[in-house]
Amino acid sequence: MRVITWLFRAAVFFVLFAFALNNQHEVRLHWFFGFGTQAPMVFVVLGAFAVGCVVGVLAMLPQWWRQRRRARERVPEAPAVPEPAPATRPAPLADIDLSAARRDGI
C-alpha cells in the first residue's frame, strides 16, 4: 500500500511539473487604477490556487468551531484514571541466561 501511495504522489508531482514547464510564458496582470504586473503563468495559477484554498478554509471555520463546541458538550467528563502499578525493576544482567543468544551468534 505504501508503494502505491508513493507512486500516486510521484505521478501527481510529474503532472504538475510538466504543467509548470508548459506554462513558463509571461502574462500581464491588470490591477485596479491602471496598475499592472508581469509574472510567469505558473505563478499566477499557483497564487490563484493558494487564494482559493485560504478562502475555502476560512469559509469552513465557523462550521468546524460549531461542531467542536457541540461535540464537547456531548462528551461526559472522563472518569478518574487509576494510578498505574509501580514498575518492577528489570533483572540484573548477571541473572539473564545468554547461552541461547551466544549459540546463534547474536
12-26 pLDDT per residue, tens: 888 888 888 887 889
| Over residues 7-12, mean pLDDT | 92
Per-residue pLDDT tens digits for 12-67: 888 888 888 887 889 898 889 889 999 888 888 888 889 999 999 999 999 999 99
Whether residue 9 lies inside any domain: the answer is: yes
pLDDT at 105 over 60: no
Whether residue 26 lies inside any domain: the answer is: yes
Whether residue 82 lies inside any domain: the answer is: no
Q: How many domains does the chain have?
A: 1
Q: What is the pTM of this model?
A: 0.51
- Specify the pLDDT at position 96: 63
- The backbone torsions φ and ψ at residue 20, rounded to the nearest 5 degrees and listed phi first, read -65, -40
The strand ranges marked E within the chain are 26-30, 36-40
Per-residue pLDDT tens digits for 85-96: 776 766 666 666
- Domain residue limits at 33: 2-76
Please give the Cα distance from 11 to 17 (Å, whole number).
10
Whether residue 94 lies inside any domain: the answer is: no
Please give the Cα distance from 42 to 48 (Å, whole number).
10
Cβ(37)–Cβ(29) below 8 Å: yes
Whether residue 66 lies inside any domain: the answer is: yes
